[in-house]
């Protein structure tokens, strides 16, 4: 997960996570492979976990991917290196969060 090996078009590699689930991998392990494990394999010690002094690359989803991995397709919030890139209300996706 995340090696950018050209399996899917850029931005569509979430499909890999769905296939991992279809082939029997537990959702929590899929999410770890896309975050902590991936960062560890690539030697990126400044990311992969939500911790103090780590780079803040985060997403929020409209749904729980542990219960349904397809929720990974419903991104409602994106933070890249601590900067908010996308923010939307989860229940009313056309309204921005209050500033």
Give the 3-state secondary structure of residue 19. helix
Q: What are 71's strand-pairing partners? A: none
Domain contains 92:
no
Residue 98 clears pLDDT 90, i.e. is over it: no
pLDDT-derived band at 24, boundaries 50, 70, 90: very high
Domain contains 72:
yes
Domain contains 9:
no
Q: Are 88 and 96 in contact (CB under 8 A)?
A: yes
Which residue range(s) make up the domain with 22? 14-87
DSSP state of 25: -
Number of domains comprising the chain: 1
Instruction: Report the C-alpha gap between 80 and 77 in whole angstroms.
Output: 10
* pTM as predicted: 0.75
23 Cβ contact partners less than 8 Å away, ≥ 6 residues apart: none
Question: So what's the pLDDT on residue 4?
Answer: 59
């Amino acid at each position: 997960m995340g090696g950018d090996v050209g399996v899917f078009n850029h931005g569509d590699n979430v499909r890999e996570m769905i296939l991992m689930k279809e082939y029997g991998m537990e959702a929590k392990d899929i999410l770890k492979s896309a975050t902590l494990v991936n960062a560890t394999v690539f030697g990126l010690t400044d990311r992969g976990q939500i911790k103090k002094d780590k780079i803040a690359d985060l997403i929020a989803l409209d749904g729980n991917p542990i219960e349904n991995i397809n929720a990974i397709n419903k991104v409602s919030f994106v933070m890249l290196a601590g900067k908010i890139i996308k923010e939307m209300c989860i229940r009313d996706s056309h309204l921005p969060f209050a500033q």
